[in-house]
Structure 1
Amino acid sequence: MTAKAFASSADMADKRQTLDVLADGVYAFTAEGDPNAGAIEGEDFLVCFEALATPVAAGEWLARLREHTRKPVRYLVLSHYHAVRVLGASAFGADVVVAHDKTRELIAERGKEDWESEFGRMPRLFKEPDSIPGLTWPALTFSERLTIDLGGGRGDLVLWHCGRGHTEGDLVAWLPERRILFAGDLVEAQAALYTGDAFHRDWATGTLDRIAALGAETLVGGRGAVAQGREAVDAAVAQTRMFLEVMIREVGAVRDAGGTLKQAFEAVHERLAPRFGGWPIFEHCLPFDVSRLWDELSGVERPRIWTAARDREVWDLLQG
């Protein structure tokens, strides 16, 4: 049997990029399962959400955005620390880079290792990697909530830490007057979850409960299509919760029965593949997801650092 190519290393085909105008001055950038990004216009400035993997990749998104607005970027919001979300930050020329307190700590603790890990897993996303000037450091951080007055009658943009989930420091960006939510990787719409740095039990319960309680009518997840309408938003949250709950149940059952990590992976794969197997990055993510969850259920509170070498070891064990 032919071994599966490592992570997304064989996925080198360009994806169709789409800019959606969600409301006056509110934009979403999607690309067939690649990381999403967004922007919100203030009276005389922009707030951009996510930075993509390199300045060159970010420049493609900004070129599309500049077809609609020439306002300068005052705030660049990082939903979390992963390299494919942050290393393109220099392209924005933002006055202030904003993140959660824990995101800054994670960049300091494991940013270099994560950069090397994600470059190996997803080389196509790192367009012209030599354009990256170094690790991205937020200038403004907070622990719970930060409100940005957009001015000119545009209302507020609320940046909120809903709890531990995809990482320790995930942020969402919420436009309450317009009921639009940029959820980062806490919610995926028609894309598999990456949970290699996650807190699965917190995420599947309180964190998703807080997101659902917002009552968003438009949701931009970390990957996948924009969810339009309350029914589609609820479905995206429910799909995310189901993915987590199946993982927790199956890995827990194998571990409690004295089984192995490999058996846990096979049990989760069998349960999730019929529904999620055809969605972006499913096969890529699942070994790292199961490995982290096994650790979590074994009492390893904080995720172990992923390195390029550890990535290959886990892949060879579970997907080799």
Structure 2
Amino acid sequence: MAKEFASQGDMTEKTISFTEIGRDLWAFTAEGDPNSGVIIGEDAVMVIEAQATPRLAGKVIEKIRTVTDKPITHLVLSHYHAVRVLGASAFNAPNIVMSEKARAMVAERGKEDWESEFGRFPRLFQGHESIPGLTWPTTTFGDRMSVYLGKRRVDLMFVGRAHTAGDIVAHVPDENVMFTGDIVEYHSACYCGDGHFNDWPATLEAIRSFDLDAIAPGRGDALVGREMANSALDLTADFIRSTYEPVAKVAVRGGTLREAWDACRAVCDPKFSSYAIYEHCLPFNVARAYDEAQGIDTPRIWTAARDKEMWEALQG
């Protein structure tokens, strides 16, 4: 029996957690749904990730207002995906920050990604009528920039390609805490459809080099303590390797995408089938891994039509 497309069958509301992972640093998590982060400075607040819609962003704002009444002055977007950025208008933040590469990807594929993800995640896009349009940054940077919220410094950095070509992280050095976006996940499948498998492990090691006291991942629980942070880095690296290597072996010998799918499932199902959005991500991950193994460096743009065609070929 064919599986229901992507996350169309997942209409159950998730339980939200709001966890302090360092002094005045908070992780908004929801059982494998996209996470957001909150950094409270002396006189202002920075939010990491905008959620998919203004309605969902409102839930983040509600949590923020339980711990501070300081104004939200900065919204940082780790990459361009619709479920991360289209709720931006709710925050009314005067400063919206992305990497230069992420902004370029909004221009290149933002509209197609919105239409694609709208079809994949109907629950997350409830209330989509209030989205005013694509989200554009007011500020971009290359490899690094620092933002000061009073005396509190937040370092925004590109540490390597991974989930997309434009991923950035936010590091708060006074507490040695990092908000990683979807470079790191915890007991949630990595979405690799726009990823760079060969770069991703080194990017994880760049994050590990900070010897972090806590991580707010892109999906999954907040990770407090070095043991949990390193465990999440290990699990993410294993997911990436376990996905790519069996697919690459099939691709380089001239095997079919369906053969690559079977090879990937044989390795990944025993390890990861219980992870959030695993069945959703797997076809997109296999398709991208197959392309990368054939030397296609820039991920092909996903459209609503391409999504359905690929899903039918693999999950159908």
TM-score normalized by the length of structure 1: 0.97
Alignment-derived partner of residue 4 in structure 1? 3
Query: How many residues in Structure 1 have an aligned counterpart in Structure 2?
Result: 316
Provide the rounded CA distance (Å) in 2 between the counterparts of 1:164 and 1:263. 27
Instruction: For 2:60, give the aligned amino acid.
Output: W
Q: Report the CA distance between 1:55 and its aligned residue.
A: 0.4
Q: Report the CA distance between 1:20 and its aligned residue.
A: 0.9
Provide the rounded CA distance (Å) in 1 between the counterparts of 2:91 and 2:280. 29
SS at match of 1:181: strand
Q: Which moved more, 1:157-166 or 1:250-259?
A: 250-259
Output aligned runs, 1:112-261, within 5 Å: 112-152=111-151, 155-204=152-201, 206-261=202-257
Instruction: For 2:113, give the aligned amino acid.
Output: D
Write out per-residue CA displacement over residues 116-160 of structure 1, whole angstroms, 9 at most, x where no aligned residue: 1001001101120001000000010001011112224xx311111
Provide the rounded CA distance (Å) in 1 between the counterparts of 2:265 and 2:143. 35
Q: Report the CA distance between 1:209 and its aligned residue.
A: 1.4
Can you give the 5+ residue segments of structure 1 that lack an aligned partner in the other structure?
A: none
Q: Report the CA distance between 1:89 and its aligned residue.
A: 0.1
Provide the rounded CA distance (Å) in 2 between the counterparts of 1:217 and 1:245. 25
Provide the rounded CA distance (Å) in 2 between the counterparts of 1:264 and 1:207. 25
Instruction: For 2:46, give the aligned amino acid.
Output: V
Q: Report the CA distance between 1:9 and its aligned residue.
A: 0.5
1:26 and 2:22 matched: no
Q: Please list every run of at least 4 consecutive aligned residues from structure 1 whose deviation after the TM superposition is greater than 3 angstroms.
A: none
Provide the rounded CA distance (Å) in 1 between the counterparts of 2:244 and 2:13. 34
SS at match of 2:26: strand
Q: Report the CA distance between 1:313 and its aligned residue.
A: 0.6
Alignment-derived partner of residue 270 in structure 1? 266
SS at match of 1:189: coil
Provide the rounded CA distance (Å) in 2 between the counterparts of 1:150 and 1:57. 25
TM-score normalized by the length of structure 2: 0.98
Q: Percent identity?
A: 49
Q: Which moved more, 1:47-56 or 1:23-32?
A: 23-32
Instruction: For 1:265, give the aligned amino acid.
Output: W
1:73 and 2:68 matched: no
Cα RMSD for the two superposed structures:
0.9
Provide the rounded CA distance (Å) in 1 between the counterparts of 2:305 and 2:263. 25
Alignment-derived partner of residue 52 in structure 1? 51
SS at match of 1:271: helix
Contact 2:74 2:95 in 1 (8 A): yes
Alignment-derived partner of residue 290 in structure 1? 286
Write out per-residue CA displacement over residues 22-64 of structure 1, whole angstroms, 9 at most, x where no aligned residue: 2332111000000000110111111100000000110011111
Provide the rounded CA distance (Å) in 2 between the counterparts of 1:60 and 1:151. 26
Instruction: For 1:91, give the aligned amino acid.
Output: A
Instruction: For 1:38, give the aligned amino acid.
Output: G
1:42 and 2:74 matched: no
Q: Report the CA distance between 1:258 and its aligned residue.
A: 2.4
Can you give the 5+ residue segments of structure 2 that lack an aligned partner in the other structure?
A: none
SS at match of 1:157: strand
Alignment-derived partner of residue 309 in structure 1? 305
Contact 2:77 2:98 in 1 (8 A): yes
1:83 and 2:82 matched: yes
